[in-house]
Amino acid sequence: MFEEKINTPEVRDYFESLRLDIWDAWTFFKMVDDDGGGTIPMDEFLMGCLRLRGQARAVDVGRIIHDQQWMIKNFGKFQTHVEVELRELKDELARPMEVKTGSAGF
pLDDT along the chain (106 residues), means of 10: 82 82 79 83 84 74 86 91 94 73 52
- How many domains does the structure of the chain reveal? 2
pLDDT of residue 75: 92
Q: Are 9 and 47 within one domain?
A: yes
Burial class (CB in 10 A: 0-12, 13-18, 19+), 1: exposed
Question: Which 3 state secondary structure label does DSSP give 52?
Answer: helix
pLDDT of residue 103: 53
Q: Are 84 and 72 within one domain?
A: yes
pLDDT of residue 65: 87
Q: Are 44 and 64 within one domain?
A: no
29 lies in some domain = yes
103 lies in some domain = no
Q: Which domain holds residue 23?
A: 2-52
| DSSP strands (E only) in 1-106 | none
99 lies in some domain = no
Cα separation, 30 vs 35, whole angstroms: 9
pTM: predicted TM-score of the whole model, two decimal places: 0.46
